Amino acid sequence: MFEHRTSPVLSRRAFLRRMRNSLAFSLAIIAGALALGMMGYHFLEGMGWVDAFANSAMILAGMGPLGDLHTDAGKIFAGLYALFCGIVFLGAIGILLAPLAHRALHKFHCDADGKKDS
């Protein structure tokens, strides 16, 4: 996926394209997690779509649910969804930051070898 350490540093245009792709992939993962949460709250807890969206978004952002949960299935789903969201959030941030970290390390390696970076 990334260039080898002996390859020259990626051009700015190619790097920005890589960042755009990472951002799109991260947003797709977050949108999928949000949709999963909305479906869970809608079908298991009986919330309307807007309330399901608000609760899912709040949990995904790490804030906690807005409304009270009335069913055991909804409470179990909320707990599992919160754990899932923590992992999804960390994964999405890792995907988003990977090109930046790789570029920085690649530039440091090129500087150490005495190669000119671009």
59 and 38 in contact (C-beta within 8 Å)? no
Please give the single-letter amino acid code of residue 36.
Answer: L
Yes or no: domain 25-105 corresponds to CATH 3.40.50.620: no
Q: Is the pLDDT of residue 110 over 90?
A: no
Residue 5 · residue 34 · CB < 8 Å: no
Residue range 12-54, pLDDT digits in tens: 898 899 899 999 999 999 999 999 999 999 999 999 999 999 9
Q: Which helix (H) or strand (E) holds 27?
A: helix 12-45
pTM to 2 decimals?
0.79
Please tell me the distance from the alpha carbon of residue 69 to that of residue 20, in angstroms, as a whole number: 38
Give the start-to-end residue ranges of the domains of the chain: 25-105
